[in-house]
């Protein structure tokens, strides 16, 4: 999705959100992730402005914190999965995650439905490589073990990663 991301072409506008909209986002985060309450003021400090950069919804809470919002209104990954070591270079090049990379030794596939937003971890690594959307349920991926299992939406070092900070 962001392999050819270019700010001049892909960013149409940057809007600061009203307090009422920010409260709605906070409520949505709390509903989706009840355990986040103690961290919410660290993620979205009360005095910092929240902006939407219009390209896909990217919520900017501060120069260090940005979250993706999809058309299905999911703000954060609901789940995570792990690819094997052999998939790392492909994922970091923007490739979608194929089913065999999710079912091989070294990979971990957790229960998730199709269209679930997931964080993609890698065997032997501490941090996520990318954020993706399940194209099939975890059960289907295990049964079929062929084709695209997860669509790579945003990965480390892509165009969105290098996007400048909006003030």
Given a contact cutoff of 8 angstroms between Cβ atoms, the answer to whether 73 and 31 are in contact is no
Q: What is the pLDDT of residues 16-35, one digit of tens each?
A: 888 888 888 888 888 877 88
Q: What is the pLDDT of residues 46-79, one digit of tens each?
A: 878 887 766 654 554 544 445 555 555 555 565 7
pLDDT-derived band of residue 3, with 50, 70 and 90 as boundaries?
A: very low
What number is the average pLDDT over the span 104-119? 88
User: What number of other Cβ atoms are within 10 A of residue 22's Cβ?
Assistant: 18
**Does any domain span residue 5?**
no
**Does any domain span residue 89?**
yes
Burial of 104 (0-12, 13-18, 19+ CB in 10 A): middle
**Does any domain span residue 1?**
no
**Does any domain span residue 167?**
no
Residue 87: is its pLDDT beyond 70? yes
- 94 & 132 share domain: yes
- 41 & 55 share domain: yes
- CATH (domain of 118): 3.10.400.20
Is the pTM here over 0.75, yes or no? no
Residue numbers of the domain that contains 129: 79-160
**Does any domain span residue 103?**
yes
Q: Tell me, what's the pLDDT at 47?
A: 78
- Sign of the alpha-carbon dihedral angle for 16, 19, 24, 25: positive
Tokens of 99: 């089913």
């Amino acid at each position: 999705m962001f392999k050819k991301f270019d700010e001049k072409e892909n960013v149409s506008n940057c809007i600061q959100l009203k307090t009422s909209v920010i409260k709605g986002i906070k409520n949505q985060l709390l509903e989706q992730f009840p355990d986040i309450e103690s961290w919410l003021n660290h993620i979205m400090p009360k005095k910092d402005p929240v902006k939407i950069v219009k390209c896909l919804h990217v919520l900017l809470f501060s120069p260090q914190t940005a979250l993706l919002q999809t058309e299905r209104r999911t703000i954060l990954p609901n789940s995570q999965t792990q690819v094997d070591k052999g998939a790392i270079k492909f994922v970091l090049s923007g490739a979608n995650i194929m089913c065999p990379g999710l079912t091989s030794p070294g990979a971990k596939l957790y229960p998730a439905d199709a269209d679930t937003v997931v964080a993609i971890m890698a065997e032997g690594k501490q941090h996520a490589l990318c954020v993706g959307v399940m194209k099939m349920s975890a059960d289907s991926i295990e049964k079929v073990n062929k084709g695209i299992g997860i669509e790579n939406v945003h990965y480390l070092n892509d165009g969105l990663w290098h996007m400048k900070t909006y003030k």
